[in-house]
Chains A and B, each alone.
Chain A
Amino acid sequence: MSERQKKMEAPLLFFPHDIMLDILLRLPIKSLLRFKCASKSWLSLILTHKFAITHLAKTSERFCRYGFIESKNLYHGRLSIYRLNDKGSSGASEAEAATVYDSSMIIDRYPTNEANIMGSCNGVTLVNGVPHWVTQRGDEDDKIIYFDLVEEKFKEFSSPPPFESLRTPLGCFGGTNTYTVFIEVWIMKDYGVKESWIKLMNLPLHSADRQFGYLQHVMPLSIPKDGDEVVVDINRNYIASFNTRTRKIENVLFSSHKAGLKIASYEESLVSPYHFSQASEAGKLTEAGKFI
């Protein structure tokens, strides 16, 4: 029997571990949760903290996803989060939605008719591993608060940005006049350093762009680290991308006339937020989360 015949008859039993690992690291969470039951060694590999961290760091480099929560499911005691198809796979305005998460957890015991996404940008509502929110109370100015995971207390963010109307701690808007609404996107380059707030861009929503109707709600979903595309949630019915160079709407990624959608950007991860401090030590997440 020739060498070649032998090779053709023998199955490829040996698949180098690093190639297999690289393939797994490129899979979405849903696939990984399924493939955990391929074998004991896969189960333990996928459950390791290192795998989760590496996957998250790799995922953040590759894509940011957009999705929405549809509140009506809550009546049935289920919270469903849908995602748009992978970004860039099509320019279709009608997104195909696939369930990425299903849960009937606490909602059974605490009936509610609404689930909300408080604000998300570049897929992370966590800034340096800490959840941050914008609050509004009476006549007070908007504030950024955060939840200290170590002390388990809410604290006020000590470096508020130099503008008035906050929408998320990450990207903020202001300034309207009769014909044009400007979207200003601000970022804080160095976390906690007040002076490092800079205006990243100023995008006009011209009257010609009024396909979105009266602008009641505009929220940034992703801000580019490099590149020209800013993705914005408009009126909770549209996800549109802007080109920051041409200052025009590039693409409407999603449109829906349903009421009660909550749109957000997110990243899929196997990492629990409680592990974030360890993640920073590993140095990988700091890299991935540096911008925000």
Chain B
Amino acid sequence: MSKLGQAKRIIFLKTADGQLFEVDEPVAMEFEIVKSFFDENEDAADDTVVPLPNVSAEPLAGIIEFCKAHVEFRANGAAGKDEVKKFNAEYIKEKSNEQLKELILAANYLNIKEMLDFLTETIANRLKNKSVEYVRAFFGIENDFTPQEEEAVRKEYEWAFEGVDED
């Protein structure tokens, strides 16, 4: 049982879709945007609700899960070890591309360097052996080449189009 006065501080976060999250302070402080909110408002009351108008509940829940685990890894001196790699691999395994995109946009807005780096690497790995069409769909890129122009660009490095994974 924790002693009085040493109770863990809880940070209140409110998402764009109106959900209230109660997050342990060390986890919330992983978000640079939350940290600077409290740095700039030193006298903010303990029950201050930090608004996060660019993040909805689903990605935020995912981000909290990731940051909580990593805060614990660091506290246990497990950073960089196999159990971290295992957690990270499990974490992204079931995530769809849409979920990954929502996560990376949220992590970018919240400014969580470690997670942003991990997600960027994850997406790069997911895309590297994919077709051009797949990558266009992923980023929402419109093909503005004429068929002839595209063919000319493809012809230049035909070997780069060999051995591409199925979409």
Looking at chain B's contact residues, the main secondary structure is helix
Is B105 touching A16 in the complex (CB atoms < 8 A)? yes
Is B120 touching A31 in the complex (CB atoms < 8 A)? no
Is B160 touching A34 in the complex (CB atoms < 8 A)? yes
Is A39 touching B159 in the complex (CB atoms < 8 A)? no
> Which residues from A are CB-within-8-Å of B120?
19, 22-23, 26
Distance of A22 Cα from B116 Cα, bound (Å): 10
The listed residue with most B CB atoms (<10 A of its CB), out of A2, A31, A41, A42, is A31
Which A33-61 residues sit within 8 Å CB-CB of chain B?
Answer: 33-43
Residue in contact with A31 in the complex, picked from B129, B141, B145, B150, CB distance below 8 Å: B129
Distance of A54 Cα from B104 Cα, bound (Å): 22
Distance of A111 Cα from B123 Cα, bound (Å): 43
Instruction: Judge if B111 is at the interface, Cβ distance under 8 Å.
Output: no
Is A23 touching B136 in the complex (CB atoms < 8 A)? no
> Which residues from B are CB-within-8-Å of A28?
128
Is B101 touching A12 in the complex (CB atoms < 8 A)? yes
Instruction: Judge if A4 is at the interface, Cβ distance under 8 Å.
Output: yes
Distance of A27 Cα from B130 Cα, bound (Å): 11
> Which residues from A are CB-within-8-Å of B124?
23-24, 26-27
What distance in Å separates the Cβ of B147 from its nearest Cβ neighbour in chain A? 11
Is A7 touching B98 in the complex (CB atoms < 8 A)? no
Beta-carbon nearest neighbor of B155 in chain A: A37
Known contacts A15-B139, A19-B120, A26-B121; is-contact A38 B105 (Cβ 8 Å): no
Distance of A15 Cα from B103 Cα, bound (Å): 12
> Which residues from A are CB-within-8-Å of B135?
35, 38
Which B114-167 residues sit within 8 Å CB-CB of chain A?
Answer: 116, 120-121, 123-124, 127-129, 131-132, 135-136, 139-145, 150, 153-154, 156-157, 159-164
> Which residues from B are CB-within-8-Å of A2?
17
What distance in Å separates the Cβ of B148 from its nearest Cβ neighbour in chain A? 12
Known contacts A27-B128, A101-B159; is-contact A39 B123 (Cβ 8 Å): no
Is A42 touching B17 in the complex (CB atoms < 8 A)? no
Distance of A13 Cα from B139 Cα, bound (Å): 7
What distance in Å separates the Cβ of B119 from its nearest Cβ neighbour in chain A? 9
Looking at chain B, what size class is its interface with the partner chain? 35 or more
Is A12 touching B102 in the complex (CB atoms < 8 A)? yes
Beta-carbon nearest neighbor of B136 in chain A: A38
Is A36 touching B153 in the complex (CB atoms < 8 A)? yes
Is A13 touching B56 in the complex (CB atoms < 8 A)? no
Distance of A7 Cα from B15 Cα, bound (Å): 13
Instruction: Judge if A148 is at the interface, Cβ distance under 8 Å.
Output: no
Beta-carbon nearest neighbor of A13 in chain B: B140
> Which residues from A are CB-within-8-Å of B136?
38-39
What distance in Å separates the Cβ of B5 from its nearest Cβ neighbour in chain A? 40
Instruction: Judge if B88 is at the interface, Cβ distance under 8 Å.
Output: no
Distance of A28 Cα from B142 Cα, bound (Å): 23
Which B37-60 residues sit within 8 Å CB-CB of chain A?
Answer: 56
Distance of A42 Cα from B116 Cα, bound (Å): 22
Contact digits for A74-103, partner B, Cβ 8 Å, 1 yes 0 no:
000000000000000000000000110110
Instruction: Judge if A275 is at the interface, Cβ distance under 8 Å.
Output: no
Is A42 touching B141 in the complex (CB atoms < 8 A)? yes
What distance in Å separates the Cβ of B81 from its nearest Cβ neighbour in chain A? 15
Is B159 touching A40 in the complex (CB atoms < 8 A)? no
Contact digits for B78-118, partner A, Cβ 8 Å, 1 yes 0 no:
00000000000000000000100110110010000000100
Contact surface of A with B, Cβ cutoff 8 Å:
2-4, 7, 11-13, 15-16, 19-20, 22-24, 26-28, 30-31, 33-43, 98-99, 101-102
Contact surface of B with A, Cβ cutoff 8 Å:
16-17, 56, 98, 101-102, 104-105, 108, 116, 120-121, 123-124, 127-129, 131-132, 135-136, 139-145, 150, 153-154, 156-157, 159-164
A to B CB contacts below 8 Å, 30 in the list: A2-B17, A3-B17, A4-B56, A12-B98, A12-B101, A12-B105, A15-B101, A15-B105, A19-B120, A22-B120, A23-B120, A23-B124, A23-B127, A26-B120, A26-B121, A27-B127, A27-B128, A30-B159, A30-B160, A33-B160, A34-B164, A35-B135, A37-B153, A38-B132, A38-B143, A39-B144, A39-B145, A98-B163, A99-B159, A99-B163
